């Protein structure tokens, strides 16, 4: 008989690990990820449950060249910063960021309570990530990992 | 300036349209879909907000050959039927169905209240959908639409 498929995502371990290089790591360690799709053995797309503590951000503001992103706010109040400015999102709202739109985005928790986001992204090869606010750029390598560099291409 | 990215998914129109052929249509019209990813202009994967009314199902029990599926229960109590039997899910629980696992699944609302699911699936080409409980099979055609047939390959 196959295993049961359903689970409570809050029972999974969470991690605040980040692949960002210094000096950009500290700002990214106030969000904790649970890898729901990995737990379910999915490979075509990723689903994270992201918990942002007060004062934290989901990531530095960024845009993907080839990958779509979708975010649903499960709990809390969060500010979304994009090229269009700031938007306030409450639980039950969502947002999408199409590949190649160059609409750089991040979620910032300026409230006093934790924020919970469900974050979906695909894994299309050849993706690049641009960071308009900091001197960083990322390129997906064969195998799926991202290599971080300065905007002039030099290594950190 | 770009448009704002966030929206309240409950403000989108919903539809109980189904591409199932007769005699399998009626059972599938007690679930209403809102196409969140289409609204956000995403193309690499699909995200639906699915509302199942009491007595309804998300779909006939099925398994995808090449596409992953992920479901998060936003509201209500719902029964998940898979090859492993029945599981009861409450709001905040989730489940994933890896491509090619043959673990056919559907969600059934046997409660007295609406169920709200967030449903994610990718769009990998060449997908086939098997339906172990009924005489139906589906093949994704170039362009992304599914063609439904009987298990012996004949048309409905």
Cβ pair B82:A41 closer than 8 A: no
Please state, in angstroms and rounded to a whole number, the distance separating the CA atoms of residues B130 and A4. 19
| pTM, to two decimals | 0.96
Task: Look at residue A2 and tell me whether its pLDDT is greater than 60.
Answer: no
pLDDT tens string A12-67: 999 999 999 999 999 899 999 999 999 999 999 999 999 999 999 999 999 999 99
Q: Identify the CATH class of B20-126.
A: mainly beta
Do the beta carbons of residue A44 and residue B67 sit within 8 Å?
yes
**CATH of A19-127 given 2.60.120.10, 3.40.50.300, 1.20.120.1750, 1.10.300.10:** 2.60.120.10
Kindly list the domain boundaries of chain A, sorted by start residue. 19-127
Q: Which residue in B108, B155, B110 sits closest to B135, CA to CA?
A: B155
Cβ pair A37:B96 closer than 8 A: yes
- What would the two tokens of residue A111 be? 């409230």
Q: Is the peptide bond before A88 cis (omega within 30 degrees of 0)?
A: no
pLDDT for the residue B1: 43
Chain A residues in contact with B105 by the CB 8 A cut-off are 5
- Chain B closest CA to A2's CA: distance in Å? 5
Q: Could you read off the pLDDT tens digit of each residue along chain B, which spans 156 residues?
A: 457 799 999 999 999 999 999 999 999 999 999 999 999 999 999 999 999 999 999 999 999 999 999 999 999 999 999 999 999 999 999 999 999 999 999 999 999 999 999 999 999 999 999 999 999 999 999 989 999 999 999 999
Which residue does chain A place closest to B89, by CA atoms? A6
Please state, in angstroms and rounded to a whole number, the distance separating the CA atoms of residues A106 and A56. 10
- Local confidence band at A81 (pLDDT 50, 70, 90 cut-offs): very high
């Amino acid at each position: 008989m196959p295993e049961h498929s359903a689970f409570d995502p809050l029972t999974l371990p969470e991690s605040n690990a980040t692949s960002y290089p210094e000096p950009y790591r500290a700002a990214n360690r106030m969000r904790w990820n649970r890898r729901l799709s990995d737990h379910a053995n999915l490979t075509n797309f990723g689903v994270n449950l992201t918990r942002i503590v007060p004062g934290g951000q989901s990531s530095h503001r960024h845009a993907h060249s080839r990958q779509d992103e979708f975010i649903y706010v499960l709990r809390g109040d969060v500010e979304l910063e994009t090229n269009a400015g700031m938007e306030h999102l409450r639980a039950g709202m969502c947002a999408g960021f199409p590949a190649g739109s160059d609409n750089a985005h991040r979620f910032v928790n300026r409230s006093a309570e934790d924020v919970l986001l469900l974050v979906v992204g695909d894994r299309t090869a050849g993706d690049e990530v641009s960071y308009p606010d900091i001197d960083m750029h990322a390129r997906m390598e064969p195998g799926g990992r991202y290599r971080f560099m300065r905007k002039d291409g030099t290594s950190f």
